Structure 1
């Protein structure tokens, strides 16, 4: 069971030239975290290693976005996403994430690698109301699975309206 962290509403900002780096095993358990990750997440190295990457999941992140992320990675493709993370002290920080699968010599996924940098403010302000609407849709359903399905349908509908694939949409912000 992950520790319960209550969001404080305090935003921490990643430096312009800083890059958060982490690696996970195929189940999403952290196997590497750089110093910038430790500082932003406010966890020690020993607290993070072996913990699920979802340890830093902010409740404002729609479940359907993470479902898309995992589906994309498991299909052996990279993904870019705007993500708000939750630090151990309840503060939050936005990142522009690039997540890729890591392969062995036979093409099997052996883990995942993520680089996250400070996003420009305009895309964040653009994505916030979309994430809010997706979370509200997810919350209208009796259980998390149905909520995630409904959120995913809503997200795909928004993308269809814009005539864009998810990657095109994210990179267009």
Structure 2
């Protein structure tokens, strides 16, 4: 029986030098999680390995972002993005994520490799209102149409700001300290 986690407003923040690392199989089941991931998300390794990575999906994250992420990865491309993740205690944490396809020695896709770090507040100030509008669009749409409807909005925002695509938008927003 899966326990439903009730989100709260307790934010956890990654340190400037922290990196969350995880690997999944082709279906998104976690095959590796580093200690920082376990600590900030509040899960022991035994509760993460073999579990869908969406165990940490916060309900305030638009489904359209994940639709785009999976489309990008299935096309063999790397994904960059910001995500609000859910902790085991209902708290949350924001990350700047880079997810890449993981190939074996023979070039066969075996899963996905993700590295997440602390996002700059300036980027969150831009992305949070976009995600809120995407969620509002999803809430007004049918379940089947919701991710595509919010993605359409996201792509409109990308065009309006003159970015080449979503990855270039988020990479432009991610400016680590000292750069």
Residue 149 (1) aligns with residue 148 (2): yes
Equivalenced residues, count: 172
Structure 1: which 5+ runs fail to align?
none
Structure 2: which 5+ runs fail to align?
174-179
Moved more, 148-157 or 22-31: 148-157
Alpha carbons of structure 1 residues 29 and 16: separation in structure 2 relative to 1, 3 Å: same
Q: Residue 163 of structure 1: CA displacement? A: 2.6
Counterpart of 2:61 in structure 1 is: 61
Residue 111 (1) aligns with residue 84 (2): no
Distance 2:151 2:13 in 1: 29
Q: Secondary structure at the match of 2:31?
A: strand
Counterpart of 1:100 in structure 2 is: 100
Q: Residue 30 of structure 1: CA displacement? A: 0.2
Alpha carbons of structure 1 residues 2 and 163: separation in structure 2 relative to 1, 3 Å: farther
Q: Residue 167 of structure 1: CA displacement? A: 1.2
TM-score (normalised: structure 2):
0.92
Question: Which residues of 2 match residues 70-109 of structure 1 at below 5 A?
Answer: 70-109=70-109
Q: Residue 107 of structure 1: CA displacement? A: 2.7
Residue 172 (1) aligns with residue 172 (2): yes
Q: Secondary structure at the match of 2:13?
A: coil
TM-score (normalised: structure 1):
0.95
Task: Please say if residues 8 and 91 of structure 1, whose CA atoms lie closer than 8 Å, have aligned partners that are also in contact.
Answer: yes
Q: Secondary structure at the match of 1:4?
A: coil
Deviations 1:103-151 (A, max 9, x none): 12343311000001111111011110000000000110122x2111111
Q: Secondary structure at the match of 1:90?
A: coil
Once superposed, what is the RMSD of the aligned Cα atoms? 1.2
Counterpart of 2:13 in structure 1 is: 13
Alpha carbons of structure 1 residues 2 and 129: separation in structure 2 relative to 1, 3 Å: farther
Counterpart of 1:159 in structure 2 is: 158
Q: Secondary structure at the match of 1:7?
A: coil
